[in-house]
Amino acid sequence: MTVGRLFLLGCLLVGPNARPAAAQGMEAVGLRALGMGGAFVAVADDASATYWNPAGLVTGDLFSAVVEYNRATVEDAPLPTGPAREGQGLRSGTLVALGTWPVGATFYRLTSVAARTPGVGGTAPAGAPAALTRLTTTHVGVNVLQSIVSGLHVGATIKYVYGSAGSALVAPVPGDPLDLAGDLPTRGSHRADVDAGVMADLRRVKLGLTVRNLYEQAVEAEDGARASLTRQVRAGAALRATDTLLVSLDADLTRSPDVTGDLRSLAAGIEQRFRQGKAAVRGGVRMSTAGEARPTLTAGGSVAVRSGIFADGYVAVGLDQAASDGFGLGVRVVF
């Protein structure tokens, strides 16, 4: 196949009505959540609940604050369908959040870049064009909470969302395609959106349900390509096995786009606290129940650097070529 034909093929990948491959799934911010594999909807008891399940703020500490950053990459993943044969992606997230009763506040910025290369038989020929995409969203929200009856809570995040997207077809690609995608010019748009959640606190057992991006904002790049912040629905359950041991399970009820194909996550996690809550270790596993499994193992921990101030961290290791690796660091304050 000639480079010219590959160029035309790439045009089909990023035509005016195509959705950019850059994506923003649920596992975007929240270091405790990420350390537990993303099984956090029914845990959600610190300031990161403003992202994961706003209703969970009712079940947490009187005051909580988090400042954190995380980053994840997938390299040379085989794509499941279509003429494109290889994909690379990079995702990063920054979260600053405050949680109190009965309100909270949150700021987070998510950036996703991706490169998709068409090829034949799983190999991209030299000089093949790459479809590059970039999507950045900034969310600023206020959380409102309400207890319906004892143990049953609802919450919502009313947020302003600014999104910017860019896409381009480049052949040949000079250097790292992800670096080039990260420098793409973008077009921005803004609107209001809502996240909502419910939490049932049954002492040893907690049940949660969260809905994000209720209005599914669309972001349009300069060339007419569109990216949508898809509505995400996730259910979860958490068991307080002992006073210091927490076990959780989450399942997506919807799909989220990803550079390697749509994701519908199933996640399990565990958290063990030590030294009267001054330290904790976490672990988790998640996989997709849509398309390729893309299994990922996660681990994380916290340590008190002063009373009520914790240093948090996590790492993720993908178990196949289509799964992502990641890390994150942050500070959490509770009292």
pLDDT single digits (tens) 272-296: 999 898 999 999 999 999 988 999 9
Question: Position of tokens 């029914």?
Answer: 42
Per-residue pLDDT of the chain (335 residues; tens, 9 = 90+): 333 333 333 333 333 344 444 568 899 999 999 999 999 999 999 999 999 999 999 998 899 999 999 999 988 777 655 555 678 899 999 999 999 878 899 999 999 998 887 654 445 555 667 889 999 999 999 999 999 999 999 999 999 999 999 988 888 777 788 888 888 989 899 999 999 999 999 989 999 999 999 998 888 877 777 788 899 999 999 999 999 999 999 999 999 888 778 899 999 999 999 989 899 999 999 999 998 899 999 999 999 999 999 999 999 999 988 889 999 999 999 99
* Rg (alpha carbons) of the chain, rounded to whole number: 20
Nearest to 201 by CA among 140, 155, 132, 255: 155
d(CA 93, CA 72): 9
d(CA 199, CA 60): 12
Fold for the domain defined by 3-334: Porin (2.40.160)
User: Using an 8 Å Cβ cutoff, are 239 and 208 in contact?
Assistant: no
Q: Give the distance, in angstroms, between the CA of residue 98 and the centroid of all CA atoms in the same chain.
A: 19
